[in-house]
């Protein structure tokens, strides 16, 4: 049985919350996690670089000099790749597709692995609810009680507590806010801690065990 301590808004442990072992006790396979991480990074990549080949650069309407009699090498166009300002041979193009397909079941499996890793390392902190009335000071006080040192933290919110919680969290540089329905592998791997409410835990359990 997997359990974590649950805290109130004052940083006091109120009870042990029982977690779904199907989500928070998933065996971890580092190779599979790495595969999904690389694929998601590739899917987020934008092909900004773009070059022109010899058919796209300007100029080249006439032969640079006559074919014979100049003592120089023969050239037909100054758009040739060997000329300065000419076209680029096999250069990067903005229409390149970096996308990699990720099976939905595999993506959810790896998300469960990452959540399980947070639990194993005691890096998932659960609150009974986000009840701060929009005051950043209260959230800072709580974080000092819960964390030995405030590191990069992913805060997971549900629609129930989002509006007021965002007001109290958005000014804390170490905190990044995400909706429970949007939590993914990149979010979990790029943050050291996970801060979530009891409602958020239940939401993730339902989302990640749904067939």
Domain coverage including residue 85: 49-97
Query: What confidence score (pLDDT) does residue 174 get?
Result: 83
Mean pLDDT in consecutive groups of 10 residues from the start of the chain, 211 residues: 87 91 94 95 88 89 91 92 92 87 93 96 90 73 78 84 70 86 94 92 92 66
Asked if residue 183 and residue 203 are part of one domain, the reply reads: yes
Q: Are 116 and 67 in contact (CB under 8 A)?
A: no
Query: What confidence score (pLDDT) does residue 133 get?
Result: 66
Asked if residue 83 and residue 115 are part of one domain, the reply reads: no
Asked if residue 121 and residue 178 are part of one domain, the reply reads: yes
Query: What confidence score (pLDDT) does residue 186 get?
Result: 94
Other CB atoms within a 10 A radius of the CB of residue 207 amount to 14
Asked if residue 63 and residue 103 are part of one domain, the reply reads: no
Alpha carbon separation from 183 to 33, 143, 193 (Å, rounded): 15, 21, 13
- Rounded to a whole number of angstroms, the CA Rg of the chain reads 27
Asked if residue 113 and residue 25 are part of one domain, the reply reads: yes
Asked if residue 10 and residue 76 are part of one domain, the reply reads: no
Asked if residue 127 and residue 79 are part of one domain, the reply reads: no
Asked if residue 129 and residue 32 are part of one domain, the reply reads: yes
Q: Are 191 and 121 in contact (CB under 8 A)?
A: no
Question: Dihedral (C-alpha) 126, 131, 135, 136: value to the nearest 10 degrees?
Answer: 0
Query: What confidence score (pLDDT) does residue 134 get?
Result: 59
Query: What confidence score (pLDDT) does residue 9 get?
Result: 80
Query: What confidence score (pLDDT) does residue 211 get?
Result: 66
3-state helix, strand and coil shares in percent for the chain, rounded to the nearest 5 = 35, 15, 50
Asked if residue 63 and residue 146 are part of one domain, the reply reads: no
Distance CA 144, CA 141 (A): 5
Select from 153, 45, 35, 49 the least CA-distant residue to 91. Answer: 49
> What is the widest separation between alpha-carbon atoms in the chain?
95
| Sheet with 13-19, side-by-side order of all strands | 13-19, 2-7, 124-127, 193-197, 153-157, 175-179
Asked if residue 161 and residue 145 are part of one domain, the reply reads: yes
Asked if residue 163 and residue 63 are part of one domain, the reply reads: no
Query: What confidence score (pLDDT) does residue 24 get?
Result: 95
Asked if residue 76 and residue 21 are part of one domain, the reply reads: no
- pTM metric for this prediction: 0.78
Domain count, the chain: 2
């Amino acid at each position: 049985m997997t359990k974590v301590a649950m805290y109130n808004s004052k940083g006091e442990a109120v009870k042990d919350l029982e977690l779904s072992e199907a989500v928070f006790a998933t065996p971890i396979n580092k190779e599979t996690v790495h595969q999904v991480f690389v694929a998601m990074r590739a899917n987020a990549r934008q092909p900004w670089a773009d070059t022109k080949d010899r058919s796209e650069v300007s100029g080249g309407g006439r032969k640079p000099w006559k074919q014979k009699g100049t003592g120089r090498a023969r050239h037909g166009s100054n758009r040739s790749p060997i000329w300065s300002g000419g076209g680029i041979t096999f250069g990067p193009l903005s229409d390149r597709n970096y996308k990699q397909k990720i099976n939905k079941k595999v993506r959810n499996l790896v998300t469960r692995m990452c959540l399980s890793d947070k639990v194993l390392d005691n890096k998932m902190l659960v609150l009974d609810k986000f009840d701060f009335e929009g005051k950043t000071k209260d959230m800072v006080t709580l974080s000092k009680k819960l964390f030995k040192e405030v590191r990069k933290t992913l805060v997971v919110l549900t629609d129930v507590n989002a509006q007021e919680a965002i007001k109290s969290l958005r000014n804390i540089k170490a905190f990044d806010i995400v909706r429970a329905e949007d939590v993914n592998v990149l979010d979990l791997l790029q943050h050291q801690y996970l801060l979530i409410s009891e409602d958020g835990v239940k939401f993730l359990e339902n989302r990640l065990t749904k067939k």
